[in-house]
Amino acid sequence: MNNNTNNSPAVNTPKKVCVAYSGGLDTSCIIPWLRETYGCTVVACVADVGQGQRELDGIGEKATKTGASECIIVDLKETFLREFAFPMAIAGSVYENRYLMGTSIARPIIARAQVEVALATGSDALCHGCTGKGNDQVRFESTYAALAPQLRVISPWRIWDLKSREAMLTYLKARNITTTASAEKIYSRDANIWHISHEGGELEDPWNAPPEDVWMITTSPKDAPDRHEDVAIVFKKGYPVSVNGKELDAVALLTELNAIGARNGVGRIDICENRLVGMKSRGVYETPGGTILMEALRGLEQLVLDRETLHYRERMALEFAKVIYNGTWFSPLREAMWAGFESIAQVMDGEVVVRCYKGHAEAAKRRSPNSLFHHGFATFGEDEVYDHKHSEGFIRLFSLPMRIRALLGLSADAKAANVEAAQLATAHGLGGAAKSCCKSTGAAAGAAATTSSGTATATTTAPAANGGCCGGKGNCS
């Protein structure tokens, strides 16, 4: 059975709706609106992904006063990091080379928790407060479809008449529902333990630099300490296990990295990104701990991954970022891709020191029992493992496709080089003619084809259409 996304009240009127509740203005309106529109019972599901105690204080009481029959708060912080954010970091996935996807990676676990609460409470419908312009509606509803396609989906923003903050405030006031929201809200924010995002207000004009008052958790780089701060992180199979010698659980570990990054101004980005729905939006993000963690992982993999594996990981990371950003976490593709990343990470044991200084975080030291770096192989001094003479044959084989292309007269660059050489010789009165690749063409084009016994059987010449690198005129000079 597919999700029933027909929002008309007359179709399959739900009896109990589980709403993803944040306590903000939108969801404060949604609860009474659901009850009035459908005459249904409403269950509020609150996902604690580390948005902060300030956001959670009194949220259960607020939900029930707004009209919810019950409010269930689910602590997801540890699971969020271990099953979602840390795997994303191991994969090295960054959206459009900048965004560490703090909002994107949190939506699947929030929606999954909502589905679980809905099923546990006997709800027959799910509801979210995402607008019809953003990515989140896709992320939530893709998760619903993957985990509970039998449940109806209600998206109030697509059908209700509350189209502005003023209209929503008036709606709540008419029902004597108190709210701390005001019509003067400047920015739209989303926070969790991985990051905080900021949109709206002055940021809607990309010509406006982010004002300093937009930032909430990071120190301005210009005001950060004048001395760098080093942070040592130990990894096992890509997962961080300790910071500065202290073994910590995932939540405590990232909390520590957040504090270190924040006081050093690390983790600020400003991006105009391409939304899945087709429009561009501007977002300003703060991800202090995540930025440090990402840098440490990249420093570690420089030691332990061979060239082809590293480059493959980088290519896969781009596609994995699309999976995360687009909200298709609960898909066979994501499972298959993560199996690859998890296999690659089996050798990612070691310690990395990241140096934080005035907005920058760079891996300064790294070591691993699985390191492929060896002084004996890399030294410029005399060694017993590398014979410099071996490089000649390697280079000839490595460059063979380019050599053949030039010898057959198919390289425009080789032809241009010969022309430039001739002009240079003329202009400077240089003695002798420039050596042309055509002098070798005869040998290449007239090579005899031999049988397995070594007997010449035929001789061929380069096709006249190719004309060699001199256009068929013999010596280019």
Q: Find, among 122, 84, 87, the residue nearest to 103 by Cα.
A: 84
Which of 104, 107, 190, 197 is labelled catalytic? 107
Strand 16-20 and strand 360-367: the pairing is unpaired
Whether 54 sits among the annotated catalytic residues: the reply is no
Whether 26 sits among the annotated catalytic residues: the reply is yes
3-state secondary structure the chain: CCCCCCCCCCCCCCCEEEEECCCCHHHHHHHHHHHHHHCCEEEEEEEECCCCHHHHCCHHHHHHHHCCCEEEEEECHHHHHHHHHHHHHHHCCCECCCECCHHHHHHHHHHHHHHHHHHHCCCCEEECCCCCCCCHHHHHHHHHHHHCCCCEEECHHHCCCCCCHHHHHHHHHHCCCCCCCCCCCCCEEEECCCCEEEECHHHHCCCCCCCHHHCCCCCCHHHCCCCCEEEEEEEECCEEEEECCEECCHHHHHHHHHHHHHHCCCCEEEEEEECCCCCEEEEEEECHHHHHHHHHHHHHHHHHCCHHHHHHHHHHHHHHHHHHHHCCCCCHHHHHHHHHHHHHHHHCCEEEEEEEECCEEEEEEEECCCCCCCHHHHCCCCCCCCCCCHHHHHHHHHCHHHHHHHHCCCCHHHHHHHHHHHHHHHHHCCCCCCCCCHHHHHHHHCCEEECCCCCEEEECCCCCCCCCCCCCCCCCC
Which of 69, 188, 371, 440 is labelled catalytic? 188
Whether 453 sits among the annotated catalytic residues: the reply is no
Which of 26, 48, 190, 349 is labelled catalytic? 26
Which of 104, 112, 136, 190 is labelled catalytic? 136
Active site positions, annotated: 26, 107, 136, 188
